[in-house]
Structure 1
Amino acid sequence: MARISALVGDVRRALVARHYSVRTEGAYLGWIKRFILANRLRHPLELGHREVEAFLTRLAVEGRVAPATQNQALCALLFLYRDVLRVQLPWMEEVVRAKPQRKLPVVLSREEVRMLLAQLDGRAWLLASVLYGTGLRLMECLRLRVKDVDFQRCEIVVRDGKGGKDRRTLLPRSLVEPLQVEVERARVLHASDVQAGFGEVWLPHALARKYRSAAREFGWQYVFPALRRSMDPRDDLERRHHVDAEFVSRSLKRARDRAGIAKHVTAHTLRHSFATHLLEAGYDIRTIQELLGHKDVATTQIYTHVLNRGPHAVLSPLDR
């Protein structure tokens, strides 16, 4: 067990050194622990590509996981062997791949969005409105820094989004005033933290070393700060982080139930609805691709399933 505990520590340090996010760190460690447990606590150095193949195959055959889930497990185990144990695994041709499924996104109608937002208030309403009005991913929204919201140009700059890319998206004019109020609230919290001897926010990569005072500057603070300070798992320092993602999920679930919406509603549903409603309004798919931050326009094309309800709607022969 001591060797396993030491290995987990090595994996965590390797992930931090390569600037993986906390969520990715948790996911990778989870898969590595499951792999070790599935092999009766044997150390991975005693195992090889056959055991990795068998583990991934069981996920697909017995666990019936989605292709993305199986791929995440594969990436975690490849990271373990390649970057921590320094063992090069041969290409695994025997793995049974999870069957890919093309699923259409859950999209709310404009009326359903209105009903959903009507059941929210305060910060929950603002977060949901930003998600629907900008098309941001949930963590992109929660990690917004004050300096990246341009109220004059009505723009939001997404830093280090999915794939490590920066991009710009729009800021709805109707959200300018509510967001300004939220920023002022963050300013008051930050001032109280500084007065109490805190006030430093977590900075990505090596920015904290490069710009010594940046962590205490207001521009780097989160637009949606948490109500309380907490210990940072990266370095055990007490900081004020952003709002917990679970707060948004719980708020949307309660609002959906109160609004009587039968569809499954998550933060990503609002992103899907943003893209779909822009397409229905006749906006160019390339423009929507840039706003969403998709690497390939083929990813954005999944929203074209709505075009039969746009200005050039396809009518059923029965309706004719």
Structure 2
Amino acid sequence: MEDLPRPIPNPPVRFMDRLRAFMRAKRLAYRTEDSYCRWIRDFIRYHGMQRPEDLTTRHIDQWLSHLVCDRSVSVSTQKVALNAVVFLYRQFLQLDMDTLQFQRALKGRRLPEVFSHAEATKVLSLMTGPTLLAASLMYGSGLRVMEARDFECATWILSGDR
């Protein structure tokens, strides 16, 4: 399951294992740990598997600009990637960073797509059981998909229908 933290060897020897152990000691959420590790791994691979200690802020600028120019990531995606490498250098490696000067993603205004009341009612009328309950809660209270999924899992466990 993707929500369960990966086991880390004791003592952690490999770089990513040491990084994960450090994040867990800082009590970061597992989703943050997983996201940061993915971005840091991407950063390291982009620079030919060089050790992060040997890379400079110029390398960080190149990678962050690459994300925007070549991979067309959004503003928020670039910010998460930036936060991951800043965490890596400032917190984990305890190295100072010069001022970053990378190509920033452009803010794209995207209007959210929202069901009308009639459309939502029509979709809800096609559902039954826990799915209807979760979807109704999402629609009525603004729950996110993961929150509704967690609620649905809890309902399933409490119902004893395992």
Q: TM-score, normalised by structure 2?
A: 0.82
Task: Spell out, residue by residue over 1:9-60, the C-alpha distance to the aligned partner (whole angstroms, 9 max, x if none).
Answer: 1221122222222222211111011111111111100101110000000111
Q: Which amino acid aligns with 1:10?
A: R
CA contact (8 A) 2:135 2:148 kept: no
Distance in 1 of aligned mates of 2:139 and 2:112: 15
The alignment of Structure 1 onto Structure 2 pairs a total of residues equal to: 149
2:14 corresponding residue in structure 1:
6
Distance in 2 of aligned mates of 1:43 and 1:110: 54
Q: What secondary structure is seen at the aligned counterpart in 2 of 1:98?
A: coil
Where is the strand percentage greater, Structure 1 or Structure 2?
A: 1
Distance in 1 of aligned mates of 2:17 and 2:116: 47
Counterpart among 33, 37, 48 of residue 29 in structure 1 = 37
Task: Spell out, residue by residue over 1:185-231, the C-alpha distance to the aligned partner (whole angstroms, 9 max, x if none).
Answer: 64454xxxxxxxxxxxxxxxxxxxxxxxxxxxxxxxxxxxxx87xxx
Q: Please state how far the C-alpha of 1:142 moved relative to its aligned partner.
A: 4.2
CA contact (8 A) 1:14 1:83 kept: no
- Relative distance call for 1:188 and 1:132 in structure 2 (3 A) is closer
1:127-142 paired onto structure 2 within 5 Å: 127-142=134-149
Q: Percent identity?
A: 32
Counterpart among 47, 69, 78 of residue 70 in structure 1 = 78
Q: Please state how far the C-alpha of 1:138 moved relative to its aligned partner.
A: 2.9
Q: Please state how far the C-alpha of 1:140 moved relative to its aligned partner.
A: 3.6
Q: Tell me whether 1:113 sits opposite 2:120 in the alignment.
A: yes
Q: Please state how far the C-alpha of 1:68 moved relative to its aligned partner.
A: 0.3
Q: Tell me whether 1:97 sits opposite 2:108 in the alignment.
A: no
- Relative distance call for 1:142 and 1:17 in structure 2 (3 A) is farther
Structure number with greater Rg is 1
Q: What secondary structure is seen at the aligned counterpart in 2 of 1:40?
A: coil
Which consecutive unaligned segments of at least 5 residues does structure 2 have?
Answer: 1-12
2:88 corresponding residue in structure 1:
80
- Relative distance call for 1:124 and 1:143 in structure 2 (3 A) is closer
Counterpart among 4, 13, 23 of residue 15 in structure 1 = 23
Q: What secondary structure is seen at the aligned counterpart in 2 of 1:63?
A: coil
- Relative distance call for 1:17 and 1:35 in structure 2 (3 A) is same
Which consecutive unaligned segments of at least 5 residues does structure 1 have?
Answer: 145-178, 190-226, 229-320
- Relative distance call for 1:9 and 1:56 in structure 2 (3 A) is same
- Relative distance call for 1:56 and 1:45 in structure 2 (3 A) is same
1:205-244 paired onto structure 2 within 5 Å: none
Distance in 2 of aligned mates of 1:24 and 1:113: 32
Q: What secondary structure is seen at the aligned counterpart in 2 of 1:56?
A: helix
CA contact (8 A) 1:60 1:97 kept: yes
Task: Spell out, residue by residue over 1:281-305, the C-alpha distance to the aligned partner (whole angstroms, 9 max, x if none).
Answer: xxxxxxxxxxxxxxxxxxxxxxxxx
What RMSD in Å do the two structures reach over aligned CA positions?
2.2
Q: What secondary structure is seen at the aligned counterpart in 2 of 1:120?
A: coil
